[in-house]
Chain A
Amino acid sequence: MLAVGETAIGSWALPTMSATRPPVSAPWHVLAQAVRSGPPLARRPIVIMAVGAASVAFASAMIVISWQYDGNSLAPYGHSAGAFAVAAAIGVAFLSAGLAAWWRRPDNLVGRLMVAAGTVWYASSLQFTRSAALYAIGYWLAYLAPVIVGHLALAYPDGRLRRRRELWGVAASYLIYLTLQGLRYLSEGACHTVGLPAGAGSGCASPLLGGLVSLDALVFDALFTVWVVRRWLTASRPARRIHAPVWLAFSLHSVVLAATVLSALFRMPQTIQLALVLAYGLCLLVLPFAFLSGLLRVRLARHRVTDLVLRLDGAPGPTRLRDLLAEALGDPSLVLGLWSEAAEAYVDASGSPVSASDPGTGRAVTVVERRGRRLAVLVHDPSLVEQRSLVDATVAAARLALENARLAEAALNERRSIERDLHDGLQHRLLRLSWLADQVGATTEEPGARPLLAELASDARAAYVRLRELASGIHPAILTERGLAAAVEEHVLRVGVPVLVDLPRDRLPVAMEAAAYFTVAEALTNAVKHAAPSRVTVRGRLEDGLLTVEIADDGAGGADPDGGSGLRGLRDRAAALGGCLSVRSAPGLGTAIVLELPCG
């Protein structure tokens, strides 16, 4: 606990505040794991509640003990109830924010580190227990909490220390503090009477070791702050947006901490020291909530994945998919490369290759695979690496979408291949059959056979024509070859009513061209069959990645938008591509069917 007062000020190493680890084992386990950057733990409510209860019990006990020490004189706090309250609140703040963070982000170590800092914060009060052993522990761990706060600042936001030097730095900060403070206890703590009844007096204070502990704190404080500031400087826009408040709060805290330590080292007027200690206390009070809100902001980002999944449901094209992923990840610079079997490379929506290696571009690369098969690659802002679960969730969603697109395309390819098989195999055999019949008919000596052979030839030709119509109904060749506008224009030549066609001639994703084509064809068939129109207009436009096609007739109208398997089929087809189909039909006013498809 933060303690200010005559007893403490003289021997301040750090401004008089102290920290201890609580008498529970979990945080030690947590600490060890933090340094090791261990694997994330699943949420275990019982563990979290047990640790929380133990920590809170310990904290309460320590607050009571320090309050009662020396007959409620609040001597260690400069006899100030305010200072006592601030000191007591800091640990509570870390504990509550830490437990909340642990609960909401069980896979993230930051919550557990905050719980540890909050608990250890009260360890110094063990010095008031009048037990030599507890006094020793309290003394030893008195200033451990600030060390944990440094660790926290570097481990935020993903709970891991990302660089080797950070790992070494944090390990060194723990080791050096524990060593120095341990030595300090051995040399002076034993004769330091705080909390012990009439000890050997306080004349054996060792300014050297106390100074070294202060120096140690100053050095690591400065080092970690430099690292944090550098993180801020090199962070991308999305990363700054989320983390800047935390980095700012920590940096401010560090400056105040340095000032406080220096004011004590140089024995500045007590009022100044007191003011700085209080400022430092207030910084510490704010810091855990900064960490927590930062973590939850990252978590909020994960909710965007939910939106993403819903929007991916419509099998968007590559450009749209990229936009959706960029939005979900909060990274407008995202590049999406789809694996092309043909090119054996990742290509973007325009077909340009996307490099999946990371040759010092400062961009991070995430590969999307399915059972070892390459699907796509995301080239994104490196800050997203720290939001690994967000990236993982996004990638999982993207994987589903890509798999779906692949299945849809496979189905479409299947249709095209059936059409091609008919073309290559059966149709040509029928043509040859008719040709052979003609040949034989022309050369036969048997006059009676000629009419039969002629009939055979014409039958084979008729079968060929019928087969061609069938194949065309499965997937018209010109749709593949020239796209939607050409295919529809070709189709309307065979429709019994005047059809005015005005469609964009841009090539669109295959599935979309097919959906739009069959919608138009079905709508025309329906119009001719049921509405007896004098004309039909097919108009389409491509705007902002949305293809809108309207098929309007001036016929009888009164079509039931919900009835008829034809319309339902069209609606399902549109929905499968993330589009929608609406029908406007009033008796006597004709029917208009509007198809809207998002396109990549």
Chain B
Amino acid sequence: MIVAEDVGLYRDMLVGTLAGAGLAVTGQAGTADEAVALVDSDPPDVVLMDIRMPPTYTDDGVRAALRIRSRHPGVAVVLLSQHGEAEYAVQLVRELERGVGYVLKERVAGAPELLDVIRRVAGGGVVIDPDVVMRLIRRPRVDDPLSQLTERERETLALMAEGHSNAAIATRMGIAVSTVEKHATSVFHKLATNLDGAELAGDNARVRAVLTYLQHTGRIATTDR
């Protein structure tokens, strides 16, 4: 693993957690460029990276992640975000498709959550922070198509958007996988056109479709899109 985080205090904490769980941290970086260089010299399985880092303290982490993946398609990346911007989540899922995580920093303050995210992303999965998903789902919309969903269907939709498989969703909701499948089918049926094919696609493609759908319903944003 490589950890890229400019705040030493927080980086030590992450490294400590990972090491405590028996994961080998092969490199630590304080800037986005350092992280890219470290990955180039010795590609790890997973890069855990802050979004806001030097040099520009803006979305350097997002850009570094895209660079890393264009050179090393097999390296999974987990981006740590402070604010959980939906914009970045959708961009990452759209452009990286698999092996990518986008989580809030406070989410991974506890070891179990952090390790869970890393495990799923290392396995090629997509992980999106529940806060981000909830914000997208709860967004007030005019003629909200989501209002047709039942509470359980809505919950299923959220878990799908977070990147969980049907089996994982079943476990979380304490219901049978077949019930989850039923909910999912119903969701796609009700939300119709924009989610065409998402039902049959793999988990990652499903995340992409659902997130994009959630981000785009309820806004006009015709400009330059």
Chain A positions within 8 Å of B, measured between CB atoms, are 420, 423-424, 427-429, 431-432, 434-435, 438, 457, 461, 464-465, 468, 472, 476-478, 480-482, 485-486, 489-490, 492-505, 534-535, 537, 539
Identify B9's interface contact among A429, A482, A503, A535, CB under 8 A. A429
Docked Cα-Cα span, A501 to B225, in Å, equals 12
Chain A residues contacting B23 (CB-CB under 8 Å) are none
Q: By the criterion CB–CB under 8 Å, are B83 and A438 in contact?
A: no
Q: By the criterion CB–CB under 8 Å, are B13 and A420 in contact?
A: no
Minimal Cβ-Cβ distance residue in B for A460:
B109
Q: By the criterion CB–CB under 8 Å, are A438 and B221 in contact?
A: no
Minimal Cβ-Cβ distance residue in B for A480:
B58
Interface centre among A498, A505, A539 (most CB of B within 10 A): A498
9 chain-A/chain-B pairs, Cβ below 8 angstroms: A428-B9, A431-B10, A478-B83, A478-B87, A490-B86, A492-B139, A499-B140, A500-B218, A539-B220
Chain A residues contacting B9 (CB-CB under 8 Å) are 428-429, 432
Given contacts A490-B87, A501-B221, contact A482 B59 (CB under 8 A): yes
Docked Cα-Cα span, A20 to B172, in Å, equals 110
Q: By the criterion CB–CB under 8 Å, are A493 and B58 in contact?
A: no
Identify A435's interface contact among B109, B136, B225, CB under 8 A. B109
Q: By the criterion CB–CB under 8 Å, are A490 and B82 in contact?
A: no
Q: By the criterion CB–CB under 8 Å, are A493 and B136 in contact?
A: yes
Chain A residues contacting B109 (CB-CB under 8 Å) are 431, 434-435, 438, 457, 461
Chain B residues contacting A504 (CB-CB under 8 Å) are 223-224
Given contacts A497-B140, A503-B223, contact A428 B10 (CB under 8 A): yes
Given contacts A428-B7, A493-B86, contact A423 B13 (CB under 8 A): no
Given contacts A490-B87, A498-B140, A505-B223, contact A423 B52 (CB under 8 A): yes
Identify B219's interface contact among A434, A489, A494, A505, CB under 8 A. A489
Chain B residues contacting A485 (CB-CB under 8 Å) are 221, 223
Docked Cα-Cα span, A351 to B221, in Å, equals 29
Identify B85's interface contact among A438, A478, A500, CB under 8 A. A478
What 4 A-B pairs come out closest when comparing CB atoms?
A481-B58, A502-B220, A428-B10, A498-B140
Q: By the criterion CB–CB under 8 Å, are A468 and B224 in contact?
A: no
Q: By the criterion CB–CB under 8 Å, are B106 and A464 in contact?
A: yes
Q: By the criterion CB–CB under 8 Å, are B7 and A498 in contact?
A: no
Docked Cα-Cα span, A482 to B221, in Å, equals 15
Minimal Cβ-Cβ distance residue in A for B214:
A493
Chain B residues contacting A496 (CB-CB under 8 Å) are 140
Docked Cα-Cα span, A166 to B140, in Å, equals 78
Identify B224's interface contact among A482, A494, A505, CB under 8 A. A505
Chain B residues contacting A497 (CB-CB under 8 Å) are 140
B96-122 Cβ-contact flags toward A at 8 Å (1 or 0): 000000000110011100000000000
Given contacts A485-B221, A497-B140, A498-B141, contact A435 B87 (CB under 8 A): no
Q: By the criterion CB–CB under 8 Å, are A494 and B135 in contact?
A: yes
CB distance from B39 to the nearest CB of A (A): 22
Chain B residues contacting A424 (CB-CB under 8 Å) are 6-7
Q: By the criterion CB–CB under 8 Å, are A490 and B58 in contact?
A: no
Q: By the criterion CB–CB under 8 Å, are B110 and A438 in contact?
A: yes
Q: By the criterion CB–CB under 8 Å, are A434 and B222 in contact?
A: no
CB distance from A483 to the nearest CB of B (A): 10
Interface centre among B9, B106, B135 (most CB of A within 10 A): B106
